[in-house]
Each structure stands twice: as C-alpha cells, then as structure tokens.
Structure 1
C-alpha cells in the first residue's frame, strides 16, 4: 500500500462515523473518489455513490461507512452520562475505556467508569450491560454535564491507530472502513485500466443497525450485480471456538463467500477474475446469511445478483480490530479485475 492509499485509510479510521452520524466520514470518502469518478452523488440519508460511466452491465462495489458505538441515553443529577448501544457494541470490552462524545459544540472526552478491583467483590464479578455503564466527563453535577452534551449525542471509543509487526494495523472501526477503502480503491484502479461496464462504488450508511443504507441504494440504483466488501472473522488467533472456525486467516487474501445471498454465477466470475490476476483468495461458507449489505442488495428490486467479499479481521466489534493491509490491496485488485471484465461475465443469471 503506497503512501497516498495509507493516508486515505488512516483518514477513514480516525474519523468517527457511528450509525446515523456518518456525515464526516462520508465527506472524506467523497473527497477521495471525486478525484477519478465521473459523478459523485448522495441521497437524503447520506449514502454516497461514485460512478464510472460506461455501458452494460452496471455493477456496484460497496462497503458500509458506519461503525458501532454508543449514544447518550441520559445525564444523571450528579453529572454522569448513561449510554445505549449503537449497533452491536460489546459490553465485555466497554468498561475502563477512554471515549469521545461527539456533541454539537465539539468533542467531549470522557471515560467509562469501572469500580476499582480493591472495592469490588471479585467473586461475584459480572459483566455489566451497556445500559448500566456510566461515562465520567469530569462534571461536578448534572447541570454542568448537560451544558456539555445532549441526549442523543453519539459516542465512540477514543482509540488510536497502531501499527503492529509485519505491517498489520490495529484500530477501532476497521469494520467497515476497510470495506469503503476497498470499494474506492477498486474504482480508482479500474478507472486507470479501463472497462466497458458502468461501475459504481458505494459507501452505505446504517449497516450496523439493519443494512438500512444498502436497502435504500439497492432500491434506487438499477444494478446488474453488487459486491459488498466487508470484514469477516479471521479465526486464526487463540480463543476462537473450534466449532466456529472458518479457516480464514489474516494475510491469506480476500474471502469469497459461498451460499445464501452469494449468487453462484457471481462467485464463479470473481474466482475466475482472481485466477486471471493471480490473486490468492480464501473461501467461506455462509449457509444462511452473510450478515453484510449483500443480504440487502440481493433481495432488492427483483433480486440483484450479489456477493460478499470478506476482508479478514481479528477481534471484530472491539476497539482493537486487526487487519493486514495486504488483504485490502489484494481485494481492491480483485474487484478492479472483475469490474474491468464485467461485460464478459454478464449476464449474471442462474441457468435453470
């Protein structure tokens, strides 16, 4: 990954964009794709679409721009902030963390309180639900706290981006900044090499609260196929339950999902593109659902042939998600290769 691509990824990862509050992150993505897209537009909820004009077919390369987080539920009389989830935030990693409350007048730093081990009955330690947690912003009382934050303000972990050995990166919100990075980069790369197809890169909103943005985009765009680039579990670290093992490894390349939403013709097309470009891919079984925007795209309109392309990720939905940038580069190359030859693979229909 060259310096400019790394800079773009860091911009995405250091910009807070919890579901329902994605505007700042979407602006960063739009600024990047505007350099090479023929057209960039947004809808009323902030879904962003970058278009590379061509002929048939029309294919979408999509990621979701939102992240999990919290929201201010209440402010107590003694000045503490009570929380509710945004998306699937993990209560087991929430206590004792630095957070930022994104208020109208700026960011308010705080910490999620955790009673000291000296004062707890550790024999009866239980993991508190998110609704039982409190954020300490340092306020003396409720009036001071309410002057700083409003109910409904979004909250994210205050987590830095760290580079680990072998170039691997750790941060909050890899899910799914890496997906919108991949979609944008694939569009840039196919713009450089050329294609007869129309290719749209998409950064959707509100995936973490029910795939809502993809439902809007899937209804709005007339697509022949859609590929959703999203994180998938790398199960190569200690602690992964054997019964949930997928064989997916960090650094092993992008993951082509098979089953459920994943259209078999599209699966074969992307695997063929990988072979032609000499890109290693991993396979993953998704027998019931992918849990990604692909699940929304494939039931839109009369049914859009869709595929989930996985980006291996350790420790998903924690503040320390870990990815290998080489997987992202390979995924962008793969999607660009597929898009460049999309007219050769179309139409995407099961032969029955």
Structure 2
C-alpha cells in the first residue's frame, strides 16, 4: 500500500457513515474511481455501482458494504443531553467514554457517550453491563436549545476513533468493518482498468448491510451478474481465549480468508485459490456450514442465482471502538481478487 492508497484508506475509515447515512463515505469512494471506470451510478438506497468493460463475459459483481454501525438521535433533554438508538449490533459495555461524531445540521458535532461514573455506582451496578437506554451523548451543550441548534432528532453518527498505525503494518480504527472491503474493491477496479480484462466487472459499494444486508439485495438484483464476490471482514482466533475449534485457526497477518461452504460456488472457490497461488499470496480457508452473515447470503440467491465467493480480511475486536487488522492482508486481498478477474474469460464453466 503506497502513500496515496493509504491516504484513501484512512479517509474512508475516518468518514462517518452508519447504515442509511453513507452519503459522505460514498462520495469519497466515487471520487476514487472517477475517470477510471467506464460508468458509475448511484441508486435510491445510496448504493454506488462502477462498471468496467460492460460488454465482457462473464459478468462479475464485486460487493463490499460501506456502512458502519452507529446510532440515531432519538431525544434531547432539557439539559442538552442526547439519547440515542443503536444502528446495528453494539456491545453496550464498549460504549461508555467513546468519542462520537454526529452529522448535524451545521456539520459534524463531536460528543462523548456518557454513563454514571464508577465512583457513584452502587456495588451491584458495577458488575452489570450497561443498557443502551441508560446511556447518553454529551455534546457540550448548555441546554436543549443550544443542542437543537446543532442537532435534530433523526440525525445519525458513529464512533470517532481515527485510524492509527500500530507496530509493523497493523492498524486500528473503529470502522474497518467494512471500509476495508470498500477500499479493496475500489483498488481492484483501479488495478484491472489498465487493460487485459475480458470479463465485465461491476463494483458495488453497498449500503445498510449492518441492518439486514439491504443494499446488496438491490445491487445483486440490478447487476444480474454471473459471478458475485463479497469482500468483508471476519473475526479471528488469534487472541487470548480465541477458539480455533469454533471458527478455525484464523489469524491476522496470514492473508485473506476464503470461505468454503454451501453459499460458495466450488468452481469460484477453486479459481480464488488458484489466483492466490499464482500471485504467491498467503490465504486461509474458513468453513461456513450454513451461511456467512455477509452480503454473500443475498447475492447467491439473487434472481436465478449467482456463483458466489467470499473474501474476508481477518480482523480482531469487530464492532468495537478499536478494530485491528494488518495492511498486508488488505494488499493481498487486492492482489488475489485482481488476478481472479484477469483470469476470467467467456469459456469459464461455473457448474458445480
């Protein structure tokens, strides 16, 4: 990942965009592909679709969701404190003290998730995880009127932890899920746009995955592609108390994870393995017995069916304020997927 790519990655990760409020992040994603792809469109759900070589065969849809988990403003009290509902799946115990950014009527508003200080809690309360309804956001307002000059009910936001480098090529941020995937499909499109592409490739930056895979239902139907590859993040077992027997020996820094199971077309899986081998890229295999919980779940049954695969970037501490991944895994995902696309032609047989 060169400096230009890292700056794009950092910009994506640090842009606030929970499910249903992805417009700013999508604008950044679109700008990365302007002048690179043959066409680009945005639908009424906010999904963005970029296309290369529209007459090529077979047709391929690359999908990554650009939304993050976040919250929506539900009520502002007389003292100016903001009460909220979750957008997506939070562990409430990870929220108190988080810095957050709300996209308000005058622009971004910084706040802090508040909870009664531990010094003031009863002994029993200290042992309990908080309920989201008992938390609030402090934006520094001196009352309701001042808060309402900045915010309105229905405004939304997310955590505001910027991207930070750790040791080596590890990084941490709050929205690597799935801005890392959005980065990958944009960089793949840039990589394969230089020529030699025989397939038609569409990159779908989809919305509202965190609240029900909604955007990808629309992009998959609209695309009607022969092949669909979802790019997302997934949990790993390389942490204290991580269970290899539950999820497999999956590790950060060991390459992208290729899913294998009922949702994955076996021919697509084989071609992804071959692409990784051809590129000399490390990879891991994850067994998914019933489904993956990703956009692949809706892509493979779109219309008359789509031959799907799933590439996942190994990531620790998902849905927390400090998710962790390795940039080398991100680069390897770009390399594998780019090679997979270049190797496709109209003779490909995807019949299991």
TM-score of the pair, normalised by structure 1: 0.96
Q: Residues of 2 paired with 1:39 and 1:146: CA distance?
A: 41
Q: Are 1:101 and 2:102 matched, yes or no?
A: yes
Residue range with higher mean Cα deviation, 19-28 or 77-86: 77-86
Q: Give the structure 1 partner of residue 164 of structure 2.
A: 162
CA distance in structure 1 between the aligned counterparts of 2:86 and 2:347, rounded to whole angstroms: 42
**TM-score by structure 2 length?**
0.96
- The whole-number CA distance in structure 1 between the counterparts of 2:241 and 2:149 is 43
Distance 1:138 1:273 in 2: 52
Write the distance in 2 (CA, Å) between the matches of 1:280 and 1:241: 22
Cα distance in structure 2, aligned partners of 1:336 and 1:241: 32
TM-superposition CA deviations, 1:135-189 (whole Å, max 9, x none): 1122222232222211111121121211000121100100001001111111111
Aligned to 1:67: 68
Say yes or no: does 1:172 pair with 2:178. Answer: no
What is the rounded CA distance, in whole Å, between the counterparts of 1:131 and 1:288 in structure 2?
34
The answer (yes or no) to whether the contact 2:98–2:321 under 8 Å persists in 1 is no
Match of 1:12 in 2: 12
Which blocks of at least 5 consecutive residues in structure 2 are unaligned?
A: none
**Aligned residues of 2:220 and 2:302 also touching (Cα < 8 A):** yes
Residues 245 and 219 (structure 1), Cα distance of their counterparts in 2 relative to 1, 3 Å cut? closer
Contact between 2:56 and 2:198, CA under 8 Å: does it hold in 1? yes
- Could you give the per-residue CA deviations for residues 26-82 of structure 1, whole angstroms, max 9, x where no partner exists? 011111112311111111111111111141101112111110011111112222111
Aligned residues: 350
**Aligned residue number for residue 79 of structure 2:** 78
* CA positional deviation for 1:344: 6.5
C-alpha distance 345-29 of structure 1, shift in aligned 2 (>3 A): farther
Partner deviation per Cα, 1:186-242 (whole Å, 9 max, x = no partner): 111122252111111111011111110100011111200010000011220124245
Q: Which residue of 2 aligns with 1:26?
A: 26
User: Take 1:9 and 1:75, find their aligned partners in 2: how far apart are those partners?
Assistant: 34
1:349 to 331, 345, 351: 351
Whole-angstrom CA distance in 2 between matches of 1:42 and 1:96: 36
Judge conservation of contact 1:193–1:340 (CA < 8 Å) in 2: no
Structure 1 268/59 Cα, relative in aligned 2: closer, same or farther at 3 Å? Answer: same
8 Å CA contact 2:14–2:160 kept in 1: the answer is no
- 1:285 & 1:193 partners in 2: Cα distance? 35
1:283 corresponding residue in structure 2:
285
Structure-2 residue corresponding to 1:218: 220
What is the aligned-residue RMSD (CA, Å)?
1.5
User: 2:253 is matched with which residue?
Assistant: 251
